Chain A
């Protein structure tokens, strides 16, 4: 069983490692970038999802930049220059944006830690007491009944 699982995991790792080397078409690059930036014309909506004519034109400009061979970073830098840093749809992973990323991570880590501690505590009964799932009163009654049973025998 272990060998089969190890083989499957190894094969999986190889499949992922092989990766895709296909070069994305300029329009695919532009579409992908449009999902990563907010629309300057539709509040709270990404450029990709914004239906306004101005957004269509901006998407076309991004496509033309991609066709000219601009990479993703250069296009996003150009958009930030033109519309300000708030155009990027995710907060930066530094400065005032860092805290946005840290809290979910902290929530999961603290949750996992709490889970671990709770499970460790709940699955290990106190050393000098009865098992945790049996109350002290029940334990005493069982002991009394057992003592009665032994003496009657």
Chain B
């Protein structure tokens, strides 16, 4: 393949030019209320998209052509890298990932603006101006401090290759999904800001973009889960979440976006919470950009290099501008956004959603605070403190458990008001289920208060959701449908509501998987050939070591026999490989996964005599995390398929009434 790298930088400059033109035309169109100018602005954003895509294609051709005259290609690819991972090298480094982000941004902007063309031209013009403004920032990064087309003075014969940890199928999907989530939130953010700037303060901005919000939230959710799965299968420490700044960076906007998905239902149903909702979408987008800043400013290596990254000084003013600008326009429109409606009763779904929002906001603040506290403390006191998993677990788990409880409580109460008598009648079964599970597990020997509470709340919520399906299906049962058919009809009748419940059920299963972590067992041993170790109820015997070589790595493959109570269970083959280009050793984990527990085995080193250092874990219930994520995905699909195609066109009145959100019921 011929490298088109020469086109890359000029394409980025052209994209930047059209973004500036697009913003200027859009602002002029909005201020002068000139439709022709606004339309020209939208077309200019389309041109920005075309040139950004050209830059992306240029970098891809350079990667596949092994054009090592480019610093980026040399740093993140090599001749021996497979085609799949050569493609993923596009976002494997900082400059490429920013280019990929900008490509997504301009593509999403073009689609959303094209869909919104029929709408109020001032709203669309301001939206184009906001999206174009964001585009200008990222394109400035790409043409100045983070240029992926920087040339090397001396062209090497081969590249350094992609980090072996990133050479995983999960890493081909995980970053694009996270970026899709982060960038996807720019659409509702831009429409919200445009609504405030244009003074069109009806519900148009969120009814127009709720599909985008759900799309972005879904991508971010799946991306986060895939990140956990990648950590679990690649990093070799037996876990899936470490509360490090990179993980937190994706989790914070997810928390505020989830709060938004719920609170926007109250705006739809009751015309309340307008200020809160625009604030949440502002916060979500700011946190998404903040996450990009955290992950691309050197914080990966050490949190104390916070402001020393090459692009950190560019991000901070941009973040400040968005945050302060957003707060200013919300403050300016505050009186117009205030609601005169009130709640009818404390015992209502509105109250449950409000409590849910308080907890999500507190959770997001907690994660943000824990992430930045080491820097804050060092600046203020000069003392270097660590804020790691023990802190996050201590403060987040109680909030998370309360949220699971509310997930179950929400469907049990009606909109506007629920009588105490009706509530007591409906809450009986879920409450009893929760108590029975806690007592049963306690009698079986589970004495961890946190785990008992988690399992109990999961049972409560699962029964509450099941009750909703049972009550929903009753009508069809009365008409003579069998249970499967009645359930199917219930689901089809209101996909948004029941799809949301399926998502909640997936979350319950994920929490069950998390709770299983309380019973994790781990052992470490240096095994000679024929020696054994035990972990949990398993006996692991090191039988054989085989070695082979590929152009990329030297492979050392062990054979470990697994038995339990004298009976053979399985044979595992964890590897310890040496990546030639990177001169880096890397372990390949093997996992025997069942719904009860995972047996997780990793070889951390192999000495000259062939003795293997084996680290083995028994992780109870981890299987349910991935199953729960699959069920969440199913629920998301049900919700997304239950609506018209993703569109920002004027919604039909009948559709306006139905919230297109998770947990809309």
Contact = CB atoms under 8 A, between A and B. Distances in A.
A122 B342 contact: yes
B452 A1 contact: no
Contacts of A84: 384
Interface in B314-371: 340-346, 351, 354-355, 358-359, 361-362, 365-366, 369-370
Interface of A: 1, 4-5, 8-9, 11-12, 15-16, 18-20, 27-28, 31, 35-36, 38, 43-46, 48-51, 53, 56, 59-60, 84-92, 96-97, 99-101, 103-105, 107-108, 111-112, 114-115, 118-119, 121-123, 125, 132-133, 135
Contact of A91 (B301, B373, B452): B373
A38 B388 contact: yes
B242 A8 contact: no
Contact of A119 (B351, B385, B438): B351
A112 B358 contact: yes
Contacts of B438: 12, 15
B439 A8 contact: yes
B386 A38 contact: yes
B389 A108 contact: no
Contacts of A18: 442, 447
Closest 10 pairs (CB-CB, A-B)? A15-B442, A132-B342, A89-B388, A8-B435, A111-B358, A90-B390, A122-B343, A104-B366, A49-B237, A90-B391
Nearest to B347: A123
Interface class of chain B by DSSP: helix
A151 B160 CA distance: 92
A5 B435 contact: yes
Contacts of B384: 84, 86
B511 to A, nearest CB: 19
Interface of B: 235-237, 239, 242, 244-245, 301-303, 340-346, 351, 354-355, 358-359, 361-362, 365-366, 369-370, 373, 377, 380-381, 383-391, 394-395, 399, 424, 428, 431-432, 435-436, 438-439, 442-443, 445, 447, 449, 452, 456, 521-524, 587, 604-605, 613
16 contacts: A5-B431, A8-B435, A8-B436, A12-B442, A15-B442, A27-B522, A46-B389, A49-B237, A51-B235, A51-B604, A87-B386, A90-B391, A100-B387, A107-B362, A119-B346, A123-B346
A36 B359 CA distance: 26
Contacts of A133: 341-342, 344
A27 B524 contact: yes
Contacts of B245: 44
Contacts, number: 169
B447 A19 contact: yes
Contacts of B389: 35, 46, 89
Contacts of A91: 373, 377, 385-387, 391
Given A119-B354, A132-B342, A1 B424 contact: yes
B652 to A, nearest CB: 26
A103 B372 CA distance: 13
Contacts of A46: 242, 388-389
B449 A49 contact: no
A11 B358 contact: no
A121 to B, nearest CB: 8
Contacts of B452: 12, 15-16
A125 B388 CA distance: 47
Contacts of A86: 384-386
A51 B587 contact: yes
Contact of A96 (B351, B385, B399): B385
A107 B439 contact: no
Given A12-B456, A89-B389, A104-B366, 8 more contacts: A5-B435, A8-B432, A35-B390, A46-B388, A91-B391, A100-B385, A104-B365, A123-B346
A103 B237 CA distance: 31
